[in-house]
Amino acid sequence: GGSRIITHADGCYIHDGDGNRILDGMAGLWCVNVGYGREELVEVAAEQMRELPFYNTFFKTATPPTVLLAQKIASLTQNRLPHVFFNASGSEANDTIFRLVRRYWELKGEPQRATFISRWNAYHGSTVAGVSLGGMKGMHAIGGLPIPGVEHVRQPYKYNEGRDMSDEEFGLACAAAIEERILQIGPENVAAFIGEPVQGAGGVIIPPANYWPEVEHICRKYGILLICDEVICGFGRTGNMWGHETMGVKPDIIAMAKGLSSGYLPISAVAVSSEIVDVMKTGGDFVHGYTYSGHPVAAAVAIRNIEIMEREGLVEKVRSETGPYLAKALATLSDHPLVGEARSIGLLGAVEIVADKSTGARFGGQEGTAGPLVRDLCIANGLMVRGIRDSIVMCPQLIISTQQIDDLVNIIRKALDEAEPKLRALK
């Protein structure tokens, strides 16, 4: 049916070529954290372009914005992860991690430690390594993936996979699946576990509170690196600067992108512990990099983006005001006959659409019928959300107001009301 042409945007709204003003409940693609129309980000980009529009980070060179951004990112990790490698996308960040981790174990004298453990329905990018690390079978089917050396285990998706268990029981069971796979492969062959603190593109899968601490315990028990993909969860999304802070763990490596520049320019980064970098330095050059790694204009914009977040207290706002408000607002949808669960953490949320609230049965007998229908009705009513299987997921800008959250939830309810007779009519 062709593309909807987005022509301009302001604050929390996008405008299309047909004159529609749409509340952007997805912050672009999980990324426009400080909102649209930030003139100072335009200005800092122009200033940097005039001074130095581009130089690379090869040949033992760097540029001032790149150095300053690395310093800032390190400080945001409380200098636990003080070394930063820049890329242009989250996919590239996870490719960098893939190569870096394998090189680390080679230099440690354990080259057989090459296997990564990830989760089904995880998303870690669209490159060959990113898709392989991810656990989306539909993506694996394109291109004969995953590549060897990546194993997948169950995801902590309680609504779909643990309805008969308590949160604590389910969290322990999902973590135990990681340990079981480690023992099957042999701990001496496992390089790392990688996971998103909250699975974003998988459907805003929020794990039980005990899941991540138990995962960290297992990784430490077997000497396996713990990697958190913070591409969506980083930069305030869950009510802390990092999703792993919200989950109460301390990873060895994190990937970040999206909120790093609020999507104004493409940039990503990998933050790494000193222990890993000290080992890497024993092996000479790490022959890896991209033309746009540490792009000075993108770095300058990212620095100013973080300054805006700090100046306006956006992380604190999500933690104390808008995150709790979204949770309460979404909870009001629980009485709707189509809603099986409404869940959120910070400014990440999802609404599960079901045919039968008591059993969780889906319309059409399988997932994927109701979600796209309700999504399209939301958009028609002025709200951009994403339909993932039968979940309506949202990720609004960190600047969203409580009134706009009310608008968001009211439009979802209206779309559910409009969808119900169509869904009930299905055979």
pLDDT (tens digit per residue) in 74-90: 999 999 999 999 999 99
**Cα Rg of the chain, angstroms:** 22
Q: Cβ(397)–Cβ(12) under 8 Å?
A: yes
CA 218 to chain centre: 23
Tokens of 11: 């604050």
- 46: Cβ contacts below 8 Å, ≥ 6 apart: none
Q: What is the pTM of this model?
A: 0.96
Q: Which of 172, 270, 168 is nearest to 225 (CA)?
A: 270
Q: Cβ(323)–Cβ(345) under 8 Å?
A: yes
State the pLDDT at residue 125: 97
pLDDT per residue as tens, the chain (427 positions): 789 999 999 999 999 999 999 999 999 999 999 999 999 999 999 999 999 999 999 989 999 999 999 999 999 999 999 999 999 999 999 999 999 999 999 999 999 999 999 999 999 999 999 999 999 999 999 999 999 999 999 999 999 999 999 999 999 999 999 999 999 999 999 999 999 999 999 999 999 999 999 999 999 999 999 999 999 999 999 999 999 999 999 999 999 999 999 999 999 999 999 999 999 999 988 999 999 999 999 999 999 999 999 999 999 999 999 999 999 999 999 999 999 999 999 999 999 999 999 999 999 998 999 999 999 999 999 999 999 999 999 999 999 999 999 999 999 999 999 999 999 998 6
DSSP bridge pairs for 23: 13, 383
Q: Residue 266: how many CB atoms within 10 A of its CB?
A: 17
State the pLDDT at residue 403: 98
Tokens of 390: 């039968």
State the pLDDT at residue 1: 77
Q: Cβ(16)–Cβ(5) under 8 Å?
A: yes
SS3 assignment for the chain: CCCCCEEEEEECEEEECCCCEEEECCHHHHCCCCCECCHHHHHHHHHHHHHCCCCCCCCCCCCHHHHHHHHHHHHHCCCCCCEEEEECCHHHHHHHHHHHHHHHHHHCCCCCCCEEEEECCCCCCCCHHHHHHCCCHHHHCCCCCCCCCEEEECCCCHHHHCCCCCHHHHHHHHHHHHHHHHHHHCHHHEEEEEECCCECCCCCECCCCCHHHHHHHHHHHHCCEEEEECCCCCCCCCCCCCHHHHHCCCCCEEEECHHHCCCCCCCEEEEECHHHHHHHHHHCCCCCCCCCCCCHHHHHHHHHHHHHHHHCCHHHHHHHHHHHHHHHHHHHHHHCCCEEEEEEECCEEEEEECCECCCCECHHHCCCCHHHHHHHHHHHCCEECEEECCEEEECCCCCCCHHHHHHHHHHHHHHHHHHHHHHHCCC
pLDDT per residue over 154-182, tens digit each? 999 999 999 999 999 999 999 999 999 99
Parallel, antiparallel, or unpaired for β 21-24 and 115-119? unpaired
Q: Residue 162: how many CB atoms within 10 A of its CB?
A: 18
Burial class (CB in 10 A: 0-12, 13-18, 19+), 416: buried
Q: Residue 107: how many CB atoms within 10 A of its CB?
A: 18
Residue 228 CA to residue 25 CA, distance in Å, equals 25
Residue 26 CA to residue 378 CA, distance in Å, equals 12
State the pLDDT at residue 427: 60
Whose structure tokens read 């899968």? 205
Long-range Cβ contacts of 164-168 (<8 Å, 24+ apart): 167/208, 167/209, 167/210, 168/208, 168/210
- Sign of the alpha-carbon dihedral angle for 5, 9, 12, 13: negative
